[in-house]
Amino acid sequence: MLGGSAIRMAETLRNNNKSTEIICIDPFTGDVNMWDWERNDGWKYLRLENGIPTIYKRFLANCKYNGFENKILPINATTSVGIKLLQRLFQQNRITSLPNYIYLDSAHEKYETFIELTLCWNCLNNNGILFGDDWSWDAVREDVIDFSNVIKDITDYDNLNKIHMLLNGSQIINNNILIQWSMDFIYTFAHLKRRFS
């Protein structure tokens, strides 16, 4: 939400001498829970200024502070708008490829997560990876399982099993969902899109 995952990814790419850009698509407005919790004591997710969340400002500041303002491009839009924009830019030859990896930190609402998974899957390059977090949330987990049933015939099982073998502590459920408890103490789910010749 504030750039942590994108910054960590940018650091990993830099440390491995990989040159690529990271695009972050988010309306930066928070979800229903954040708006509800804003009235409570404790950490304020939104930090409203004149009724407007400051998430986007903090995201930009964190990227700049860590030296990645030229590597991380935020698109201040919903998943639906942002993914469709990437596809249009690709069709118009304004970008050279669609994403190889999409990390989806979904809306966490039942059915909305399924829609976002579908949009992101259809935007991936063949042999791309779709992954995300918050498996422990009922709405997310249920939509991921429903989505995995839809894509079961176009999942790259060989590569999914190879990644499973490389990750200690990972498990495969529903035959095509790879679950990994990551260093951030979040669940990660992953799907690999099969390459068609």
DSSP-derived secondary structure for 45-97: SS--BTTB--HHHHHHHHHHHTT-TTTEEEEES-HHHHHHHHHHHHHTTSSS-
At 181-191, the pLDDT tens digits run 654 434 455 66
**Structural domain boundaries enclosing 45:** 4-153
Report the b/e string of 143-178 with b at 16+ CB within 10 A: bbeebbeebeeebbeeebeebbeebeebeeeeebbb
- Per the domain annotation, does 182 fall within a domain? no
State the CB neighbour count (10 A cutoff) for residue 40.
Answer: 8
Q: Is residue 196 part of a domain?
A: no
- Residue 172 placed within a domain: no
CB 7 within 8 A of CB 68: yes
Tens digit of each residue's pLDDT (9 = 90 or more) over 48-106: 999 999 999 999 999 999 999 999 999 999 999 999 999 999 999 999 999 988 988 88
94/178 Cα distance (integer angstroms) = 33
pLDDT of residue 167: 81
Taking all residues of the chain, what is their mean pLDDT, rounded to a whole number?
A: 86
- CATH code of residue 81: 3.40.50
What distance in Å separates the CA atoms of residue 178 and residue 176, rounded to the nearest whole number?
6
Residue 75 included in any domain: yes
Q: How many domains does the chain have?
A: 1
134 within a domain of the structure (yes/no): yes
| Percent with pLDDT over 90 in the chain | 49
Whether 189 is covered by a domain: the verdict is no
Does residue 66 form part of some domain? yes
At residue 98, the 3 state secondary structure works out as: coil
pTM, two decimals, is 0.84
**Would residue 164 count as lying in a domain?**
no
